[in-house]
Amino acid sequence: MPNPTAAMLVIGDEILSGRTRDSNTNHLAKSLTAAGIDLKEARVVGDEKATIIAAVQALAKAYDNVFTSGGIGPTHDDITADCIAAAFGRSIDVREDARAILAAHYDKAGTELNAARLRMARIPDGAALIDNPVSAAPGFTLDNVHVMAGVPAVFEAMVASILPTLTGGDPLISDTLRVERGEGDLAGPLGVVAERYPLLSLGSYPFQKDGIYGANLVVRGQDAGMVEAAMADLRASFA
């Protein structure tokens, strides 16, 4: 059976302007690979309602799981929760369970749960909350879309909260052979081995550093024995 699939949707003008470097996609990619869920696509879109809704609908339809990051804070540009509700035709309002989590958190901190902070308790109808052990304000899952914060520490904590609840497949196994030859010399033999193992993915990632150049040849697949056999073939090709 093929592994479940996933897409990542990063939401935020600050990524597209270059001000902020997205690290959440790489964290999610590694986590999903280990869990046996295949990340098939990642997208970054800005803080525009129509764009976010269209992306959520397209990705939710195409993949088993969608993970979003960004846009669930207290400020006026945090519009993700409303967009997710709109994408699924659900109503959205401050929800009592989310409000109670925020009230307990801010009460302990001696901070007022004002109107802005209360925005973070706006949860689409029918969504399940995602625990946020870092800063309390919850994420949520609606249908197959998991909505999480953009701040990396919070995003990573939410991924850890949600991943064990998802159905995974066989983890992707990968092995690497480093060969110090030009990629143009590796390509022929590598292609021969790749054709021999149609169920595996063989990739070549060139490097050049301090005058030494070559490529990392990476074999990926779900069958450990097959990965090992392909690695042996590669080692023999470049002995």
Q: Which residues bind a copy of itself (CB under 8 A)?
A: 12-23, 25-33, 38-47, 51, 73-77, 106, 111, 114-117, 119, 151, 153, 172, 174, 182-188, 190-191, 194-195, 201-206, 208, 218, 220
Q: E strands along 103-227, which residues?
A: 122-124, 128-130, 139-142, 145-148, 173-179, 201-209, 212-221
**Min. distance of Cβ 188 from a copy of itself in angstroms?**
5
Sheet containing 212-221: give its strands across: 173-179, 212-221, 201-209
Between 115 and 239, CB nearer to a copy of itself: 115
Q: Is 79 helix (H, G, I), strand (E, B) or coil?
A: coil
Q: How far is the CB of 98 from a copy of itself (least distance, A)?
A: 14
Which residue, 13 or 64, has its beta carbon nearer to a copy of itself? Answer: 13
Chain centre distance of CA 162: 12
Q: From CA 219, how far away is CA 37, in angstroms rounded?
A: 18
Q: Which is nearer to a copy of itself, 145 or 200 (CB)?
A: 200
> Structure tokens of 209?
């550093």
Whether 167 and 4 have beta carbons less than 8 Å apart is answered as yes
CB of 165 to a copy of itself, least distance (A): 20
State the nearest-atom distance from the C-beta of 71 to a copy of itself, in Å: 10
Please, is 209 exposed, middle or buried when counting C-beta atoms within 10 Å of its C-beta (0-12, 13-18, 19+)?
A: exposed
Smallest gap, in angstroms, from Cβ of residue 119 to a copy of itself? Answer: 7
Bridge partners of 220, per DSSP, are: 174, 201
Closer of 58 and 128 to a copy of itself (Cβ): 58
Please provide the distance, in angstroms rounded to a whole number, between the alpha carbons at the two ends of the chain.
36
Q: Cβ of residue 126: shortest distance to a copy of itself, in angstroms?
A: 26
